[in-house]
């Protein structure tokens, strides 16, 4: 609303007219301005106001006619000035209506400004803002307004930088993947005076685009924008390196990771950046001499950190990344005492710093735990919280669903805290939320999760991520629940506030408690069970791969980090000793680093290139499972076994060979095979692995016997009895709670 003090000669009738406008009595206000025009036909302001009143009444044609009557009286040089006067009146009214939350009216007024001044960039940006508020924004509207050309070619007056960045924030929320949103971000970069202002807007959203929307390519497009302004920005380099590896553009991922490390001076950052290089190279081509050197450097850096025990790391992202800094150690060495010790000691450093820099959240969690301890008693219903970013079409999601399916709802209330889920469209995630008594969706950062867990008064919190998502680690470190447990997602995290780690009699050796900080809770038979998997139609066929019908097919479906020269040599020796055998290797990238590595090892072991087949990834898990049936034998990896792939292989009734080690990652297939009812193919040494591989390749009858046993075991084996497994997990929960009540 145009206030009465804007014009010095305001008289009583005009005050009355303004009051009528405020009260919504538009007819009376219009009548007063019509009388004023009759008295003073050359007062342009009256025409502007009368037209505005008519517009507020929905009489758009009459409003335009009224304005044109005034403008038509001017000379050529006056028209532009008078038009600007009218625009200013309409702009003030649009702002007033916006402040009153009359967004539709504000939008209509700004549409008229657009008709009068189509190149008014601030008005066009305000139109976009209102469209977003009204939830009717479309990319087509943005294009039709010609905002990008106006900004790119500087065809209009200088835009408001504050408004530009405000609209950018809006578009990053409602339409982050639109091409126009990306182009708009590029234009904003040409106007910002401080690049960090743009970075502060883009970085949090980029993570959301990458993980919630699961669109790394668009996230990379956004990251390239501020990188063009600040090419040596540490966080931008580290993030873009990670995303390039995620989309299997390994050359760029390695390049950016190394560049990031080269400009790093702080120890905490050096650890994170060296880890990024290890990740990039191992995903590209597995374990090699370069990785060996990087692992040694990482060990040295971590030992330095542990020795220094810094308590001034603040709230930086590099702090939480420390949790995963030794993630690849189990991929290259089966030394659980050292690996677990290192992981726990790093987690202790993180704990000190997280407690120091998150005092408010920590106080809330501790207050809740104090109350919980006072009230601790056996309960009819336990509140179980499941915390994860993987309750979707993901290995963890496919496996953990059986707990949700079979939980006794008379004894347990299920709460799901889903990270990186707020914009995710995923049918399995929807399945989980449908079955939870209460669920929450968060972005990848997970701000406020610990506080919500406290508010929900969760009794037992189950961490399904371990160190695969370091933001989950931070939540667990705040100890929002009286009893905290790690299960399924990975090995134990070593976080001091985690009470238990779920295992079974096989997946960890008998002496494992000696070096784990968490109390190992061994379930009676198996730490995991499923009722099976959905299987689609295969996309692989022998004839299309030029493999004879009577040939023996070995298969490996593991990702790059699980490959190493020692294991590949054993696999090639198996091939060399089994006539008419072929090796199928599932590819995981757009580049041929790993393929070349495997071909080189094969040549060194005397296996012809013609006996190797590199197969592409498929889009759906159901197709992947169906394709497993092409194999006669699956060859597992060591020192990091398959996990979900092993479950799928056994469900499909395919014999496999695994090498058992000491660490959790080297014993997954072992426990699954035993709990599926077979021991054939379980090797305790490299030599046994070689012998089993050759024996299974040469003995078709043995393969048939194993396949028959596996199919029969679907009805009896613990691995395929998810209902019984759920009862055992529930018994564990109840015993854990009783121990808490008893003060144990």
CB distance 714 to 532 below 8 Å: yes
Which pLDDT band, with edges at 50, 70 and 90, does 157 fall under? confident
User: Helix, strand, or coil here: 322?
Assistant: helix
- Tell me the two tokens of residue 174: 């409602």
CATH superfamily of 543-720: Glycogen Phosphorylase B; (3.40.50.2000)
Query: Are the folds of 359-522 and 543-720 the same?
Result: yes
Residue 484 CA to residue 476 CA, distance in Å, equals 8
Polymer length of the chain: 744
Which pLDDT band, with edges at 50, 70 and 90, does 568 fall under? very high
- pLDDT > 70? residue 382: yes
CB distance 21 to 4 below 8 Å: no
Residues with Cβ within 8 Å of residue 75, at least 6 apart in sequence: none
The mean of the pLDDT values for the chain is 93
For the entire predicted model, the pTM comes to 0.91
Which pLDDT band, with edges at 50, 70 and 90, does 8 fall under? very low
Residue 653 CA to residue 645 CA, distance in Å, equals 12
Give the pLDDT score at 1.
45
At 627-678, the pLDDT tens digits run 999 999 999 999 999 999 999 999 999 999 999 999 999 999 999 999 999 9
Residue 559 CA to residue 187 CA, distance in Å, equals 39
- Tell me the two tokens of residue 538: 């295969």
Q: How far is CA 586 from the centre of its chain?
A: 24
What's the number of CA atoms in the CB half-sphere (13 Å) around residue 402? Answer: 23
- pLDDT > 60? residue 2: no
Which pLDDT band, with edges at 50, 70 and 90, does 247 fall under? very high
Give the pLDDT score at 54.
78
Count other C-beta atoms under 10 Å from residue 448's C-beta: 13
Question: Looking at domain 4-188, does it have CATH number 1.25.40?
Answer: yes
Residue in this structure with the two tokens 């089966």, named with its chain if needed: 334
Which pLDDT band, with edges at 50, 70 and 90, does 682 fall under? very high
- Tell me the two tokens of residue 574: 């198996």
Strand partners, 683: 659
CB distance 254 to 242 below 8 Å: no
CB distance 67 to 59 below 8 Å: no
Question: Domain spans of the chain?
Answer: 4-188, 264-356, 359-522, 543-720
CB distance 481 to 459 below 8 Å: yes
* Euclidean distance between the first and the last CA atom of the chain, given in angstroms as a whole number: 68
Which pLDDT band, with edges at 50, 70 and 90, does 4 fall under? very low
- Average pLDDT (142-165) is 91
Tell me the torsion sign for CA atoms 395, 399, 405, 407: negative
At 453-511, the pLDDT tens digits run 999 999 999 999 999 999 999 999 999 999 999 999 999 999 999 999 999 999 999 99
Give the pLDDT score at 588.
67
Give the domain 359-522 fold. Answer: Rossmann fold (3.40.50)
Q: How far is CA 739 from the centre of its chain?
A: 35
Give the pLDDT score at 85.
80
What's the number of CA atoms in the CB half-sphere (13 Å) around residue 209? Answer: 28
CB distance 121 to 147 below 8 Å: yes
Give the pLDDT score at 681.
99
- pLDDT > 60? residue 10: no
CB distance 561 to 333 below 8 Å: no
Strand partners, 463: 387, 486
Residue in this structure with the two tokens 């139109």, named with its chain if needed: 127
CB distance 481 to 461 below 8 Å: yes
- Average pLDDT (65-69) is 77
Q: Which DSSP string corresponds to 689-712?
A: HHHHHHHHHH-HHHHHHHHHHHHH
Residue 609 CA to residue 23 CA, distance in Å, equals 85
Give the pLDDT score at 11.
64
What percent of the residues of the chain are helix, what percent strand, and what percent coil, each to the nearest 5? Answer: 60, 10, 30
At 296-347, the pLDDT tens digits run 999 999 999 999 999 999 887 889 999 999 999 999 999 999 999 999 999 9
For residue 164, CA distances in Å to 151, 167, 239, 622 come to: 10, 5, 25, 45
Which pLDDT band, with edges at 50, 70 and 90, does 76 fall under? low
- pLDDT > 80? residue 16: no
CB distance 740 to 482 below 8 Å: yes
The DSSP bridge pattern shows strands 382-388 and 412-418 to be parallel
Residue in this structure with the two tokens 């997946």, named with its chain if needed: 507
- pLDDT > 70? residue 591: no
Which pLDDT band, with edges at 50, 70 and 90, does 78 fall under? confident
User: Helix, strand, or coil here: 461?
Assistant: strand
Residues with Cβ within 8 Å of residue 457, at least 6 apart in sequence: 368, 372, 383
- pLDDT > 50? residue 422: yes
């Amino acid at each position: 609303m145009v206030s009465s003090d804007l014009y010095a000669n305001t008289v009583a009738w005009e005050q009355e007219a303004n009051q009528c406008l405020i009260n919504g009595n538009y007819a009376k206000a219009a009548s007063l301005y019509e009388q004023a025009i009759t008295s003073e036909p050359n007062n342009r302001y009256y025409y502007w106001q009368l037209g505005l009143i008519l517009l507020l009444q929905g009489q758009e044609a009459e409003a335009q006619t009224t304005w044109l009557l005034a403008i038509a009286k001017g000379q050529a040089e006056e028209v532009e000035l008078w038009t600007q006067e009218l625009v200013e009146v309409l702009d003030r009214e649009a702002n007033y209506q916006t402040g009153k939350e009359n967004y539709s009216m504000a939008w209509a007024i700004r549409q008229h400004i657009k008709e009068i001044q189509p190149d008014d960039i601030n008005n066009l940006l305000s139109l976009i803002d209102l469209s977003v508020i009204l939830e009717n924004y479309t990319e087509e509207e943005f294009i039709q307004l010609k905002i990008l050309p106006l900004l790119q070619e500087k065809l209009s007056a200088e835009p408001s930088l504050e408004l530009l960045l405000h609209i950018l924030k809006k578009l990053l929320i409602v339409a982050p993947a639109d091409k126009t949103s990306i182009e708009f971000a590029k234009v904003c970069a040409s106007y910002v005076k401080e690049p960090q202002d743009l970075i502060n807007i883009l970085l949090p959203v980029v993570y959301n685009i990458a993980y919630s929307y699961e669109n790394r390519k668009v996230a990379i497009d956004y990251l390239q924008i501020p990188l063009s302004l600040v090419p040596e920005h540490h966080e931008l380099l580290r993030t873009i390196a990670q995303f390039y590896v995620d989309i299997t553009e390994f050359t760029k991922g390695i390049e950016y990771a190394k560049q990031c490390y080269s400009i790093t001076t702080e120890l905490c950052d050096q650890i994170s950046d060296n880890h990024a290089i290890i990740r990039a190279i191992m995903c590209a081509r597995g374990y090699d001499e370069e990785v060996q050197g990087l692992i040694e450097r990482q060990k040295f850096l971590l030992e330095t950190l542990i020795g220094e025990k810094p308590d001034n790391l603040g709230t930086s992202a590099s702090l939480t990344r420390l949790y995963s800094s030794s993630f690849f150690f189990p991929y290259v060495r089966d030394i659980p005492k050292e690996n677990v010790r290192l992981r726990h000691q790093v987690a202790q450093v993180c704990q000190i710093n997280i407690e120091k820099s998150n005092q408010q959240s920590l106080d809330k969690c501790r207050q809740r735990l104090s109350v919980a301890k006072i009230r601790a008693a056996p309960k009819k219903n336990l509140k179980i919280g499941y915390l994860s970013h993987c309750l979707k079409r993901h290995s963890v999601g496919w496996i953990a669903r059986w707990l949700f399916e079979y939980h006794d709802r008379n004894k347990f209330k299920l709460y799901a805290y889903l990270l990186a889920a707020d914009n995710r469209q995923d049918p399995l995630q929807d399945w989980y939320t449908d079955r939870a008594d209460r669920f929450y969706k968060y972005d990848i950062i997970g701000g406020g999760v610990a506080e919500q867990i406290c508010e929900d008064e969760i009794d037992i919190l189950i961490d399904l991520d371990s160190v695969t998502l370091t933001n989950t680690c931070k939540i667990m470190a705040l100890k929002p629940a009286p009893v905290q447990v790690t299960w399924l997602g990975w090995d134990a995290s070593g976080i001091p506030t985690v009470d238990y780690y779920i295992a079974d009699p096989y997946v960890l050796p008998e002496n494992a408690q000696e070096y784990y900080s968490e109390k190992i809770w061994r379930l009676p038979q198996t730490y995991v069970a499923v009722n099976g998997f959905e299987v689609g139609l295969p996309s692989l066929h022998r004839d299309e791969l030029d493999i004879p019908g009577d040939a023996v097919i070995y298969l490996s479906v593991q990702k790059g980090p699980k490959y190493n020269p020692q294991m590949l040599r054993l696999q090639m020796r198996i091939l060399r000793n089994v006539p008419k055998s072929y090796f199928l290797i599932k590819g995981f990238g757009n580049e041929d680093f790993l393929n070349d590595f495997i071909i080189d090892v094969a040549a060194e072991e005397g296996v012809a290139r013609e006996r190797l087949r590199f197969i592409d990834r498929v889009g759906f898990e159901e197709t992947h499972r169906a394709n497993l049936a092409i194999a006669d034998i699956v060859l597992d990896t060591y020192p990091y076994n398959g996990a979900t792939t092993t479950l799928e292989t056994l469900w499909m009734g395919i014999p496999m060979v695994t090498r058992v080690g000491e660490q959790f990652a080297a014993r997954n297939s072992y426990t699954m095979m035993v709990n599926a009812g077979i021991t054939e193919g379980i090797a305790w040494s490299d030599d046994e692995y070689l012998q089993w591989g050759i024996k299974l390749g040469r003995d078709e009858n043995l393969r048939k016997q194993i396949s028959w046993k596996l199919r029969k075991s679907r009805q009896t084996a613990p691995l395929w009895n998810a209902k019984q497994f759920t009862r055992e997990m529930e018994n564990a929960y109840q015993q854990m709670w009783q121990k808490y009540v008893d003060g144990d």
